[in-house]
Chain A
Amino acid sequence: MDGLKLWLAEVGRKAYVAFIEQDRWKLYLKGLGITMEVAFFAAIIGIIIGTVLAFMKLSVKRNGKPSFLARIANAYIDIIRGTPSVLQLLIMWFIILSFCRNKILVACLSFGINSGAYVAEIVRAGILAVDKGQTEAGRSLGLSQFQTMRYIVIPQAFKNVLPPLGNEFIVLLKETAILGYVALDDLTRVANQITSRTYEAFMPLIGAALIYFVIIKILTILLNKMERRLRKSDNR
């Protein structure tokens, strides 16, 4: 009995040190704010870049060979996928955008550019997964390539794209844990700092992990809901 009491008191003390003392919970909250901010804006940048790249990649010359734009898109994707995102972040911060002192901005751009390469493949696959007959039917009615894309292919591709896009966002959100490399106080770095200040690893690290988990769980539920709504036309 006494052992249990002692153990509970110890856990309570550790939790107090990790979260309450000196208002440390505010640091976690701030860290989470930075994590979410970077993930959110990077996702938007990534979706824009990725969509543009996807259409570049899909463009073909009359003879069926990849166009100049497609080559550029391929090179972009190769470079981004072929190097670690930590390095990309460091290169952006210390070399390419070294004149820019706004760390958040640099982080959003770096992650956005990185995510764009993956989103490009997702969007391209989503468009290619739409049955060719849909395009043929649209074109046979006299609709232009653009109109067929706009009214028929893209709405259907959107349904294909949403689940992997949600997945990409989740990966992105967790990948921001490397923001500490450029001294941005995201959730992971905050937990790490508190660990080294209090000499207690368990509570800050597990606490931060739990926060990530809950956020992503909520996201997953929202995404599933959206997906179900989009599938309405499949079975009515």
Chain B
Amino acid sequence: MITVKNLHKSFEDNNHVLRGVNYHISPGEKIVIVGPSGSGKSTFLRCLNLLERPTEGEIWFDGQCITDERVDINHVRQHMGMVFQHFNLFHNLTIMDNIILAPTKLKLQTVEEAKENALKLLTRVGLQEKADAYPASLSGGQKQRIAIVRSLAMNPRVMLFDEPTSALDPEMVGEVLQVMKELADSGMTMVVVTHEMGFAREVGTKVLFMDGGNIVEENTPAEFFGNPQAPRLKEFLSKVL
């Protein structure tokens, strides 16, 4: 579903963040990416929907090379949901308008359809009574659940999560992970950058360890945590587990 070939990304200050990443993600997989900060895991994720433009390499999504300049990236992004560390709900809109903005403005659904769909999704995460509230009145956990719903309203084929629980109070991490678990169980293809090792172990089909701008180790959760190979990974796990 997503194939990454020789992905490089360097920023203006000659900071070479990604150094030739290759990877393939099949439909239905739940890829969990862990690693120390500065390892390039967030940049890698943000390259997948071209929020960061790679300096070199190719990304293929559903048989289309999306790094090609001629590809309409807005159209590609309609099929790739993204959830951010800081939620990024639109402050100027109510929860309902946050959710239906993209589907209606992109003329994928009528306002009525979008609202009906939004209510269904809100009910699924237990927040239907917040439809007319503004984001400022919600807790972090509620905001993140809404952000997930907002992405799902576009019926994406893959969901990208960029440290979705890192900005949350510890008490609220559980409710967000629960929503993500249910999403995983429904068969959604997911790529998750996180520090939640429990989530990686339980939900991931593959766990990746990134360090120094590349994937250092990739394995099933059982092998990854039970029998790590790379010394850097062993060191990392000994600190976080």
Contact = CB atoms under 8 A, between A and B. Distances in A.
The answer to whether A and B come from one shared complex is yes
Interface of A: 64, 131, 133-134, 136-144, 147, 151-152, 155-156, 159, 233-236
B238 interface: no
Contacts of A138: 90, 102
Interface residues of B, number: 32
B84 A133 contact: yes
Given A134-B88, A134-B91, A156-B92, A141 B134 contact: no
B78 to A, nearest CB: 4
A141 B136 contact: no
5 contacts: A137-B82, A138-B90, A139-B74, A140-B77, A151-B101
Contacts of B82: 137, 140
A139 B46 CA distance: 12
Which of A137, A233, A234 has the most chain B CB within a 10 Å cutoff? A137
Given A143-B106, A144-B74, 9 more contacts: A134-B90, A137-B82, A138-B90, A142-B75, A142-B77, A142-B106, A143-B74, A147-B106, A234-B134
Nearest to B69: A62
Interface of A is mostly: helix
Contacts of B89: 137
Interface of B: 12, 49, 51, 74-82, 84, 86, 88-93, 101-102, 105-106, 133-134, 136-137, 147, 150-151, 154
A139 B51 CA distance: 8
Nearest to A150: B105
Contacts of B147: 137
Contacts of A235: 136-137
B134 A233 contact: yes
Contact of A140 (B12, B49, B86, B137): B49
A62 B221 CA distance: 41
Report, nearest first, the 9 A-B pairs whose CB atoms are least far apart: A142-B78, A137-B88, A141-B102, A133-B88, A140-B82, A142-B77, A155-B92, A233-B134, A236-B134
Given A152-B90, A233-B136, A236-B134, A136 B105 contact: no
B190 to A, nearest CB: 15
A134 B93 CA distance: 12
Contacts of A137: 82, 84, 88-90, 147
B91 A142 contact: no
Which of A140, A147, A152 has the most chain B CB within a 10 Å cutoff? A140
Contacts of B76: 142
A141 B51 CA distance: 11
